[in-house]
Amino acid sequence: MYVQLDRIEDGKWAVLLPYPDGGRALDVARERLPEDASPGDVFRLDPAGGLERDASRTERARAESAALQGELLGSEPPGSERESRDGTGTGTEREAGRKDNERDGGGGF
């Protein structure tokens, strides 16, 4: 069985959800996870109750989350063709934004 770290509560409890389908939360003591564990990490829960981070599933979950977030917010996920290296979009998109700003009175956001 795999679980995903949803959040840490009060610095003492890790809230885990079944991965990938979600479902009923499982609370475990924070110290059962690696010190560098962060929300979104996926772990294999072994029959003895041990938790082992699964790097490939964690990466897949992060990519799926970024794609969904981009879809919901109407933006492209990081690393897409639309995004430039500095995250400001292509030159054409920046120029279009400048023209929109000028047309709207130049007041900014």
pLDDT along the chain (109 residues), means of 10: 95 94 93 94 92 96 92 73 49 46 46
**Counting Cβ atoms within 10 Å, is residue 41 exposed (0-12), middle (13-18) or buried (19+)?**
buried
- Same domain? For 63 and 109 the reply is no
Type of residue at 44: R
Supply the pLDDT for residue 49. Answer: 85
Distance of CA 31 to the CA centre of its chain: 23
Phi-psi region of 89 (alpha: psi -120 to 50; beta: other; left: phi over 0): left
The answer for residues whose C-beta is within 8 angstroms of residue 87's C-beta and 6 or more apart is 78
- Same domain? For 36 and 56 the reply is yes
- Same domain? For 71 and 85 the reply is no
Using alpha carbons, list the distances in angstroms from residue 8 to 52, 55, 81, 98.
Answer: 17, 19, 34, 42
Give the total number of structural domains in the chain.
2
What distance in Å separates the CA atoms of residue 48 and residue 16, rounded to the nearest whole number?
Answer: 16
Structural domain span for residue 99: 79-109
Supply the pLDDT for residue 92. Answer: 45
- Same domain? For 56 and 17 the reply is yes
- Same domain? For 71 and 83 the reply is no
- Same domain? For 24 and 43 the reply is yes
